[in-house]
Amino acid sequence: MGWRVEIYSVWAEDMRWVQLSLRGPSEHMLVLRVPLAANAAEILGEIEQWLRNPASVDSVCSTAPCSPAPGVH
């Protein structure tokens, strides 16, 4: 089974902030802080690294488990 990434918001100040959800074997809400120059592959790399070892990623600022709304998959 793979992962579905749903992006809710992106904003930039001195860094780029990305609010997203991950839906797959488990479900999570994340806020990532990445450099303004980060491309999609680099952002996905941060997510993949976080999935392997959440404690090893400094760019993930906030996490929360989430559960789907009834009837939503």
Alpha carbon distance 42, 40 (integer Å): 5
Does residue 73 sit within a domain?
Answer: no
Alpha carbon distance 12, 48 (integer Å): 22
Q: Which residues contact 18 (CB under 8 A, 6 or more apart)?
A: 7, 9, 10, 30, 31, 32, 34, 43
Sorting pLDDT into bands at 50, 70 and 90, what band is 65? low
Sheet holding 16-23, edge to edge: 4-12, 16-23, 27-34, 60-65
- Domains: count for the chain: 1
Does residue 72 sit within a domain?
Answer: no
Average pLDDT over residues 66-70: 53
Model-level pTM? 0.75
Q: What is the pLDDT of residues 14-52, one digit of tens each?
A: 999 999 999 999 888 999 989 999 999 999 999 999 888
Give the pLDDT of residue 64.
64
Give the pLDDT of residue 1.
72
Does residue 71 sit within a domain?
Answer: no
Host domain of residue 51: 4-65
Q: Which residues contact 64 (CB under 8 A, 6 or more apart)?
A: 28, 29
Does residue 53 sit within a domain?
Answer: yes
